[in-house]
Structures are given as structure tokens and as C-alpha cells.
Structure 1
Amino acid sequence: MTLFKSASLVSLLTLASRITGLVRELLMAATFGASALTDAFNVAFRIPNLLRRLFAEGAFSQAFVPVLAGVREKEGDDATRVLVNQIATVLAWALTATCVLGVLGAPVLVWAMASGLSDAGFDAAVFMTRWMFPYIAFMSFVALSAGILNTWKRFAVPAATPVLLNVAMIAAAGWGAPWFATLGIEPIFAMAGGVLLGGCLQLGVQIPALRRLGLLPRIGLRWSSLKTAWIHPGTRRVTTLMLPALLGVSVAQISLLINTQIASHLGAGSVSWLTYADRLMEFPTAMLGVALGVVLLPQLAAAKAADDTDRYSNLLDWGLRLVVLLAVPCAVALLTFAQPLVAVLYHYGAFTAADVQRTATALMGYGAGLIGLVAIKVLAPGFYARQDIRTPVKIAIGVLVLTQLLNLLLVPRLAHAGLALAIGIGAMVNALFLLMGLIRRGAYRPSPGWARFGMQVLAASALLAVFLMWVASHFDWLAFDGQALQRVGLLTLCVLGAMLIYFLTLLLAGLNLRQFIRK
């Protein structure tokens, strides 16, 4: 399977995940609106998600996958199985302690995340945090499983599992919340149960896939097993790499924590507006950036282990060209077409026209940095595959400082949208410094033709922007309230028209799209 086909498979399955996630958010917006209790749920859900991004999909994956790929390339499958068992043992013990501490310390975590919540919102957030905290344990083992399966080029199962979380949360909003209401229980609490169920389901589907490969981890439950696992060279290498990786991921999450804290003081609904905008922004970042990162990291690690510098550079070049080809038009769409997107997807039930406008401004802020957000997913693995995690960490720390300085400038003028714009600008700076670092190290040597390629994409994107601005202003998208089918149908036609304009312009400009497929 070519890299393009692998990335396309991950992207399509990620699309399914994002579509079900969008249905989840739409249902939540229509059922609960943007209120103090939805802010409480979003804060509570962010706490295990923050830890998931810190440990599971963040520091752990960045350290584990390169080591796993290197051991498999140099020492073979038997040594790799031993490494998997030892890592799983250490992970199980660490997660048990983390979950106990998290449940006990929930009030402190909620206060640190959003001290501006009302008393009722704070209590609700603490209650839901305690119920959802074990989710981090399930997702950490999902990350372990995904790292193994992706290294063996089994991309389908890890990419599809997020759908299960969305399905569980949809069931919680659609059936659980009304049932809780009949029992006299706050309906939003049903969402916490949906999250926990989703974590169980995601881990459950990984087990058969690992068993078929003969890589289902054997976890040592005795203290002696933990000591043996801890002194294993592979475990020590992963934990050594995790320290700077944890710092790097922490920087991004600290920025998120600060932004959530600021948003909680900007008035009821601010956290939710940013959350709804973030969900839309995750469509292109996940479908493009995450898909490319998932496919490229084990391939880059294998190329580095084999000391194949040409293949290493070519992989990065291919990934970056795809980022420019696909992320630029997505950024144009978020900047020029934000209100129609938000109106069609969220303007139902308790979600008002004012909520649409405020969510749209946040979405435009994210859109300003979309290219950087996607490019980071390609550029950062270029360092992780070389087991150089310190450089991205140093860059991330500098970007954190820049982002908070931008908050001081933008939030008083743009309120919650200023937080999104600061993140977008910071992402662009982050991506630029990562790119410069790879070029200076000689790890990435841009292939010929970038100037011509950039002009082709720029011309197509300019025509796309004109079309989307005309469509956004020509129709009153808020006036379609209660006419969901008509609004969705019109949006579909607009998206198809935009795609036709963009890719047809590229073809007329002489761009050969087959070069991306053949890679």
C-alpha cells in the first residue's frame, strides 16, 4: 500500500470519526445549548482529555513509536514483543495510581482549569470529572495499541476507534439525558457516562487486532514484574524520551489550560463557543495533519534506523506538499465561510443566532493558523523519528510565551475570538521554526519545484476565496432556521462547487495531481 493510500484510509476513517463527532456536538448544542452546565461538562471533559494528550497521544506516543520502530528494524519481532510487554506493565501500574489521584483531586483540577465557573457549575464539573477520569486509562492503552498497529501498517482499527466514543456520547445525549431527566437527575450528567462507555469500547476493539498479530501485551501484576519491566533497556529509553516530550506536550496543554481559564472569566458560553469552533477546526487538522502524522512517523523512524537520508527527506517533502495542497483551501474556507458552516451545523434548538456569530468569530481565529496547525503534525514527527524531542520542546516553550503575549493584546479587543487567533498565530510560528530546524540539520532538503507549486496553489485559493465570499454574502444562512434539509443541501452544493473550482484551477495551471498518489 502506498503512502497516499495509507494516508487516504486514515483520513477517510478520521472523517467518519469527525462526522459522528459533529453529530455529537450538534445534538449536544441542540439539547443543552451554551450554558453554565455545558461549560461545566466541557471543562470536566477537558481534564481527562488534557491528560490523554499529555501522556497517551502526546509524550508516550512520541517516545514509544520511534523506539518500537527502531527495535523492530534492528532486532526483529521477538525483541519487539518483549518491549511491548514491558512497556504495558509499567503503563498499567502508572495509570492505576494516576486514576486514584485524579478522582481524589478532582476539585483541585477543576479549579486549576476554570476557577471562574459558578458554584453550581463548579460542583457539576467536579462530579463529572470524577466519573470521567478513568477514561485516561482506557485511552492510554488505546495509544499503546495504536502505536503497535501503526508500526505494523495496520492503520484501519486505530483510525476508526474514535467513532465509538462519538456513538456512545450520541446515545448519552439522545437517550441517556432524557432518561436522567425523568429520574430527576441533571441530564448533562449522562454525558459523563457516555464518555466512560466510549473509552471501554475503544479499547475493546483493539484487542482482537493485536491478538491476530500475536502482539497482545502480557501485563505483569506482581511487584517483581514491575521492577523487571522498569529496568528493561527499551523501557528506560522510552521513559527517557518521554521526559522532554512531556514537557513539550505540556507547553501546548498549559496554553489550553490558560485559555480555558481566561474564557471562563469572559462570560457564560465563552468556553462552549471555543469548544464548538475547535470541533469544526479539528476536521481539517485531523483529516490532514493527524492522518499524515500517523502514517509518516513509523516510516520516518524506519528510514532513520536504516540511515536512508534520501527517503527520510522525500517523505517529509511529500507530506509538506500535501499540507500546502489541502490545508490552504481549508484555511481559506474557515476565514471566508465561517458563519455558513456554523449556522448549518449548529443553529438548531437552544443554539441561538448570537451563539452562531460568536462561534464563527472563534472559528475564523483558528482558521488563520490552520496551515501551521496541520504542518506541525508533519514537521514534529521529523524530529521525533530522529529521537530528538528537545528541539520541538524549546520551540514550543517560545511559542507559549508568544501566545500569552498575544492574548494580552487580542483578548481585550476580540474577547474569546482573541484566544483562538492567538493559538492560530502561535501555530504558524511553531511550524516555521520546526521547518527551519529540519532544513538546518540537513534532515529535510526541499525538492525542486516548490515556487511553481506554491503559485499554482495560491491562484486556485484566490478564486476559491472569491466564490466562498460571494456565497456567504448572497444567502441569509441564519434565515434557514427550521429548514435543515434545505440548508444542508445548499451547503453541500457550495462545498462541491468550491472543490470543483479549486482542483479545476490547479489542473488548468498545470499541476500534476498524480505525483501525490504515486509517492
Structure 2
Amino acid sequence: MSSLQKKSLIATAAIFCCRFTGLIREITYQCLFGATGAMDAFLAAFRLPNMLRDMFAEGALSQSFTSAMSKVEKVEGPKAAWELANKVFTQLISLMIILVSAGVLVAGFCMQQIYPERVLVHCAVTDAAAAPEHGCIAEYLGVTRDADGRATASFRCAAPLIGLSDESCLKEGALRSLRPSSRLYLYTGTEGSPATLPAGSIPEGLTTLKLEPRGFMDLATDLCRIMWPFILFASVSALCMGSLNVFGIFGLPNLASAAFNLTIISLGTALGWLIDPNFGPDALYGFAVAVVIGGLMQVLVQLPKMRQKGFRPRWNLALTLRGWRISFTDPVVRKVWYLIIPGVIAAGITQSNIFINTAFAMDLAGGSVTAISAAFHLWQLPVALFGVAVGMVVLPSVSRMTLTSGANTEIPQHLARAMRFVAFFAVPSTVFLGVWGESIVSTFYQHGRFDAEASVLTGNVLACYSLGLLSYAGMKVLQPIFLALEKPWAPAGLAIVAFCLSVGLNYLFVYVLHFDAPWLALTTSAVTTLNFFFYFFYLRHLMGNMACGVLLPGLLRILLAGTVLALACWQIRDIFLDGFTSWSFMHRVGAMALAGMAGCVIYALAAFLFRVPELDAFARKFLRRRRA
């Protein structure tokens, strides 16, 4: 087994731990707060600092710094590399202090732009004597606005609604699908919810609307102000990750994110309970504080290993004008920031693409937004486990190779082996998500109001997403190489082209051809595949070749093994998984586990028969351990 494969597997295991603890964190949120307006306020408040982290800290910043520091470490040694780290750390912390201060001041304005508008609710009751236990059937009368532009939605209810007050409100977007005289089911959530009612309590076909108490905008603003410093610690953590990656350490930096999740789960729950033992809206202040402390923990868990490798933190006085002038005269520091800017642009366009897809899905049939979101998160998991992990391992070594005389030969061969390794895992992941998508969705999500019909729609969306999984994972390997070659604007330009193409195709499918949600996912897969080929052929242009003699034979063997797996999975689905969505939860989990193990065995046997090189490497490693 090669060094690349060992380090990639270590990074993959660490990322899996991070994702698993992230899932536990989300489950904790849902168990303690549920699908409430207060939880909406918390998620909206966290969206902005989290988006800045995705755009700035954990992508462009870490990769740009890793590339520059790797070259300095190879040419001038570790001491010079850590001196560069000190300079960049100082400038980054200075910038982040300014950004955090500004963010706290403009948090209210930001929340008004991001958080959905609320409208007040007025209910005219026709029979005050009959009070239902949880909610009531109502008729929508329309929306009126006063002189100040404040909207009020009016309903005619057959009975008074428990928990209704003069300050009750709902999301304005919830009214988009309603027409005057529409009948629906209103409830407040103070005495249960539709998900907890006996079957048949709500007439079939009625839309359900949950009313909320007012004041969540203030809550979201307060939470955003508390959580804003998280971006400071996330940025410093990204630099710590990049520094350790330069010295071949990939497990600990990724486990730092697991420390972030565990801090929120434990400390957030404890602080929330101290503030409000019933876990009402005020308990979310405890979780907001835990988010910031969790960001700090990401940094603290990496510092001992950095110190072991030679890091000695030293403040370079970049807060002064003279300090800034001195720092920016360093050509390597300037190069780091030169690499960061296009990376931030590319990441920002990617984030915008996610929001645009959601906006298009909102104009489709009910449940489309949920289907797109749920399928997207499942699709991202194998990409993070394999594509991101391998890209992280490849970047430092390729950055050093650019300084050697044989770079145009060594780099393509290194990339070919890396992409082949990613394909070995991405191809079966594509088959599992594409063929068993409905069953996988049903296992993870089919609970409460997420019924079998929603599983079918989400499974179809996931199948369309899966078609682009191999290309997306390959992009995650190739994208950092542009930084190593100091060609950072190429991915940014290609991201702009891909974004425009995606918007155009989505508009065509939704508004002209009136297709449904799976076509939005298919657009994403098609554009991702096209983007991958842009990356591949542009790198081939830059380096003269891409070692296709190393890449293609192994890739063909992997695809043949994947074809055998796909045929077997179709047979398993048709014979053993028929009617899967109607089974009990434990039955679904057991069947999916057995099917997954069978699929892995079949793929391994097929890979053995077609002599896939990556399987040979694993087999040799296993046999050496058995002999030892």
C-alpha cells in the first residue's frame, strides 16, 4: 500500500468521525428543540458565519496556505515555514478581529436579509364553544397590509385555536401555495403537532401550517451576534490544519471538527439546561455559546502537535500600519493572499449555486426543497470521505513536486494514482446511491411526517445526483492542484461558467419544460461532470500530459467491476428489497445492512477478477499483517 493510500485512509477515517459526530449534533438539535421557529432562528443565525467558514476558512485559506508553506518547507526548511505561518497567522487574526467586530454591528441587518419574513395571523372563529385538542381546520381569506407595510394573514376557523395570541405569526413563504378560500389545518405546536396526532385526525389533502409566537427575529439577531466570533476560530483552525498537512499529519486536523461537534453536544446541552431545563427558546443561547467554544476547541486540539513539529507562536504586530507594510513586503505572504482571493470567489459561487437550486425547487411541487436538501447531504458524504480526503493528501506533495525538474512527469503520475484511488471508492458509492437510493433514503429519513412518498421522490433525486458523484470527487482532487501550480483563477473562472450554465438549465427545466425535482439534481450532475473535464484538460494543457497510460487501464477495470456490482444491486433490489418503504424501521435497517455487506463482497470479488490495482495493494497489506 502506497503512502498516498495510507494517508488518504487516515484522512477518510477522521472525516468519517467528523461527519458522524455532526449527525449526532443534528439529532441532538431535533430531539431537544424539534422543527420549531426557535430552531429556525438558531439555524438562520448560524448560517452566515458557517457560510463564511465554507467560503473562506476550510477551503481556500487552508489549501492556499498549505501550498505556499509546503514549498517554503522544501526549499528553506521547517524553521522558515513556521516563520511564514507566524506572519500569516498574525495577519489573519488581525483581519478576523475587524470582521467579527463589523459582523456583530450589522448582525440585525444581515438577519433581516436572510431570515424569512413573518406575517401576523388573525383568526375569525365561527364556533367558540368547540375547542379542538391540537388544531383546527381553517379557510384562508387572504393577506392585508397596514400603512406601515406590516402584513396580516386572515383565516376563518371553525373553533378557537389553543395557544393563539395577538402576536401569533407564520412564515410569509408558507402562503405562496395558498389561494383565497383554500382549506388547511392550523396548529400552534403548544399542544402537540400533526406528526403526533392519531391517523385520520387531519383530513387527507389538507396543507398544515404551524403558527409561532412573534419575536424570533430578535432571537436570531442575538444568536448571530453571539456566534459571529466562531469565524475567527474557524479561520485559525484552518491554518492549523494546513500547517499540519504540510508535515504529513492528516488525522488530527480532521478530528478537530469532531471536537467542535462534541463540544456543542455536551457543553451546549449543559448550558441550555442551566438556562432553561425545559429547553425552550432561551436554551439556544447556551448552544450559541457552545458554538464559539467549539471553534476554540478546534484550535486547541491542534496546537500541541504543531508545537511538537516546531511551531512557536509569535505576534508580528500586523495590527499596526508599519506591521502591515512589513508583512506584505514578504513575497510568500503576498502569494498566500493572492491564492486565497480566487479560491474564495469559487467557493462563494458554489454556495450561491446551492441557494439557487433551493430557490428553483421552491417553485416545484411540495416536498421538493426537502428532497433536494436531504439527497444533497447524502451525496456529499462519499465525496467528503474520498474526494476531499485524497485532495487534502495530494496537495502538499504536489506543491513540493512543482519545485523539481521532473515536475511535468511526476505530478501527472501522482494525480493519476490519486484519481484511480478515488474512483475505486466512488464507483461503488455511485452504484449504491443510484440503484438503492430510495431504500437508503427510507432508512435514514422515513420517520414521522417524512412518508414513503417523500422517500420515493428523494430517492429519485439522489439517483440523479449519484450520476455526478465520480466527477465531483475527481474535482476535489484536481482543484487544489491549480493552487500548487499557482494558477488559482482557472477554477474561479470555470465556477462562473458552471454557475451560469446551471442557472440556465434549471430555468429551462422548471419554467419552460415544467420538469420536477430530479431534473435539478440531474443538472447539477451534468454541470459537475462538464466542470471535471474542463479541469482535467486544462491541467493537461498546463503540464503537457495527464499520465493517461497510468489512469485509464486501472479506471477501466474499476468501471467493469462497478458494472458487475450494478447488475447485482438491481437484482437484490428487485428480489429482496421490493416494498422496502412499507417495512418497519428495524426491518429496513437490518435489510440495508445485509444488502450493503453483500454489495461490498460482490464488488471486492469483481475487482479481484478484473485485477484492480487498488485491491491488490489492500490484499498485499493484509497478507503482510497476517504473516507478521
Alpha-carbon shift at residue 160 of structure 1 (Å):
1.2
Say if 1:13 and 1:388 are closer, same or farther in 2 by CA, change over 3 A: same
* 1:304 CA displacement: 0.5
Distance 2:569 2:30 in 1: 26
On the 8 A contact 1:36/1:269 being kept in 2, the answer is: no
Distance 1:265 1:192 in 2: 33
User: For residues 38 and 424 of structure 1, do their structure 2 counterparts lie closer, same or farther at Cα, with a shift above 3 Å needed?
Assistant: farther
Greater RCO, CA 8 A, separation 6+:
1
**Is the Cα–Cα contact under 8 Å of residues 364 and 510 in structure 2 kept in the other structure?**
no
Q: Secondary structure at the match of 2:486?
A: coil
Structure 1 pair 469–177 and aligned structure 2 pair: CA distance change class (3 A): farther
Deviations 1:465-498 (A, max 9, x none): 23333444524433344x44x4333222111111
| Counterpart residue number, 1:157 | 252
- Aligned position for 1:383: 482
Instruction: Give the corresponding residue for 1:218.
Output: 314
Q: Please say if residues 269 and 287 of structure 2, whose CA atoms lie closer than 8 Å, have aligned partners that are also in contact.
A: no
How far apart, in 1, do the equivalents of 2:73 and 2:523 lie? 41
2:79 alignment partner in structure 1: 78
What is the CA-CA distance between 1:150 and the residue it aligns to? 0.3
Q: Which amino acid aligns with 1:208?
A: P
Instruction: State the distance in 2 between where 1:341 and 1:50 align.
Output: 28
Alignment of 1:364-375 (within 5 A): 364-375=463-474
Q: Which amino acid aligns with 2:342?
A: P
Contact 2:87 2:333 in 1 (8 A): yes
How many pairs are equivalent?
Answer: 517
Deviations 1:266-305 (A, max 9, x none): 6987655544333322221111011101100000000012
Q: 1:130 aligns with which of 225, 244, 261?
A: 225
Distance change in 2, residues 1:464/1:254 (3 Å): same
Q: Map of 1:42-81 to 2, 5 A cutoff?
A: 42-81=43-82
Residue in 1 that maps onto 2:146 = none
Which letter maps to 2:57?
A
Over 3 Å counting, the alpha-carbon distance change for 1:318 and 1:188 in structure 2 is same
Q: 560, 564, 583: which is aligned to 1:463?
A: 564
Which residue of structure 2 aligns with residue 331 of structure 1? Answer: 430
Deviation at 1:107, TM superposition (A): 4.0
Equivalent positions of 1:86-485 (< 5 A) are 86-113=87-114, 115=116, 118=171, 125-171=220-266, 180=276, 182=278, 184-185=280-281, 191-220=287-316, 222-223=319-320, 224-262=322-360, 273-309=371-407, 310-348=409-447, 351-353=450-452, 355-411=454-510, 413=514, 417-442=518-543, 444-448=545-549, 450-473=551-574, 474-481=577-584, 483-484=585-586
Deviations 1:227-285 (A, max 9, x none): 43233222211112222222222221222333345556769876555443333222211
Superposition map of 1:477-496 within 5 A:
477-481=580-584, 483-484=585-586, 486-496=587-597
**Kindly, what percent of the aligned residue pairs are identical?**
29
Alignment equivalent of 1:513, drawn from 614, 623, 626: 614
What secondary structure is seen at the aligned counterpart in 1 of 2:301?
A: helix
- Confirm or deny: 8 A CA contact 1:407 1:419 kept in the other structure: yes
- Partners in 2 of 1:220 and 1:23 — Cα distance? 40
Give, as a single letter, the amino acid of the residue that structure 1 aligns with 2:386. Answer: L
Which structure would you say has the larger Rg? 2
Which amino acid is the alignment partner of residue 229 of structure 2? P
Distance 1:487 1:158 in 2: 35
Range with greater deviation from structure 2 (277-286 or 431-440): 277-286
When normalised by structure 1's length, the TM-score is 0.89
Once residues 275 and 233 of structure 1 are traced to their aligned partners in structure 2, the CA distance between those partners, rounded to angstroms, is 43
CA distance in 1, matches of 2:473, 2:219: 34
Is 2:419–2:551's contact at 8 Å kept on the other side of the alignment? Answer: no
- CA distance in structure 1 between the partners assigned to 2:272 and 2:452 by the alignment: 24
Which ranges in structure 2 are unaligned for 5 or more consecutive residues? 119-170, 173-213, 622-628
- In the TM superposition, residue 356 of structure 1 has moved relative to its aligned partner by 3.8
Where 2:315 maps in the other structure, the secondary structure is coil
Please state how far the C-alpha of 1:12 moved relative to its aligned partner: 1.1
Amino acid at match of 1:387: E
Q: Which residue of 1 aligns with 2:201?
A: none
Distance (Å, rounded) in 1 between the aligned partners of 2:271 and 2:583 = 29
Q: 2:292 is matched by which residue type in structure 1?
A: L
Q: Matches of 1:124 and 1:477 in 2, distance apart? A: 42
Would the aligned equivalents of 1:24 and 1:170 in 2 still touch at CA under 8 Å? Answer: yes
For 1:218, the aligned partner's letter is: R
Shift of 1:62: 3.2
Q: Distance in 1 between matches of 2:219 and 2:519?
A: 28
Whichever residue aligns with residue 491 of structure 2, its letter is: P
- Matched to 2:304, the amino acid is P
- Residue pair 1:34, 1:269 contacting (<8 A) in 2 also: no
| Separation in structure 2 between the aligned mates of residue 104 and residue 262 of structure 1, nearest angstrom | 32
Counterpart contact for 2:32–2:279, Cα < 8 Å: no
- Using the TM superposition, give the Cα deviation of residue 102 of structure 1 relative to its aligned residue in structure 2, in angstroms: 2.0
Which stretch shifts more, 451-460 or 495-504? 451-460
Change (3 A) 1:368 1:198: farther
Offset, 1:399: 0.5
Structure 1, unaligned runs of 5 or more: none
The secondary structure found in structure 2 opposite 1:467 is: helix
Segment drifting more, 268-277 vs 124-133: 268-277
How far does residue 211 in structure 1 lie from its aligned partner after superposition?
Answer: 1.4
**Structure 1 counterpart of 2:624:** none
Q: Cα distance, 1:405 vs. partner?
A: 1.1
The one-letter code matched in structure 1 to 2:402 is K
| Structure with higher strand content | 2
User: 2:342, 2:489 within 8 Å by CA — same for their partners in 1?
Assistant: yes
